[in-house]
Amino acid sequence: MHIDDLRALAPLWLSKTEEVRQDKSHWSTNITGDIYGMGWISEMYGYSFGAAEVSSVGLRHKINDDIMIYPGYTPRIGTEPLILHYGLPFKVGNWSFSKLEHHEDGIVYDCNRLFPPPPFPREVEVMESDPNVKRALYLSIECIHTLNEGLLLHHTSVGCPKPQWSKYLSFLKSKRFSELTKPKYWNSLKVENKLTVQHVALSKSRHPKIHTLFSTECSSYFDWQTVGLMHSFRISGQPGNITRLLSCTDEDLKNYKGRDLAPTHYVPSMNRHPLTGDWYKLLI
């Protein structure tokens, strides 16, 4: 999103999120089928409602299928998603992964420990005859392979002993793995040929300055995701820099071991929202 669009949207985004959180009469009715608890994704609804109002004065969105997919979902034919958002459980055969099962997982700090490996590509090849469903399975194993490769490289960088040889480690260094996880590049010409609309605030250059930000807390749960994201960012070819916004209590920060996991900007400790009761990071 262009910064000018964000400035126009931000006040409405916040106010609409507050309205959704206070609308408790609808919490007991699961209209959308969300699997999370009440109010969990209120900021997403707040964005939609806020953007709908801002759109009346010019905010427009590009909608396409090439940007993001959940592992486990089947991509539309002819699309190549650029971002894997592993927010939901997914499985390949008898193997499965859910990040919610790794809330207290100190895997970043356990030398040479990786997440349980998924089936190898040759096993995936015989699981499904439909080529597009098979492609979905490959995206799922690519997600966990990338996380594990990031963990392996991180462990090496902090001086962990060389891991014992295994079939899986051999695969992570193989040509087949490189082919499976090679960077995907956005086909902007293809997207522009679709019936889409432009943002109101366009960049003056074809390659605008980009700085990627992500927000975390002092928690092992966020640490292994940080390692995976940083590794993925490095190999993706994404232009610009990346910075982690880290928010913790003063006490947690004293004992925190993950300061060097990413370029970091420290933000004030969490505060409680006076209207909704939510804990949030105060960004100044």
Q: Is residue 271 domain-shared with residue 246, that is, in the same domain?
A: yes
Query: Is residue 118 assigned to a domain?
Result: yes
Span 146-160, mean pLDDT? 97
Domain that holds residue 119: 68-180
Torsion 37-10-205-199 (CA) sign: positive
Torsion sign (Cα): 156, 160, 161, 165: negative
Which of 134, 164, 180 finishes a domain? 180
Same domain (yes/no): 136, 224? no
Q: How many domains does the structure of the chain reveal?
A: 3
* Residue 283 scores a pLDDT above 60: no
Alpha-carbon distance of 196 to 66, in angstroms, equals 13
Q: Smallest Cα–Cα separation from 101: which of 220, 248, 274?
A: 220
Q: How many whole angstroms separate alpha carbon 160 and alpha carbon 109?
A: 10
Average confidence score pLDDT of the chain: 84
pLDDT in tens, 7-42: 889 999 989 988 888 887 776 666 655 555 666 678
132-147 pLDDT tens trace: 999 999 999 999 999 9
Asked if 37 and 78 touch (Cβ cutoff 8 Å), the reply is no
Q: What is the pTM of this model?
A: 0.80
Q: Is the same domain home to 89 and 174? A: yes
Segment 50-76, tens digit of pLDDT: 998 887 667 888 888 788 999 999 999
Q: Which of 59, 81, 99 is the last residue of a domain?
A: 59
In a domain, 189, yes or no: no
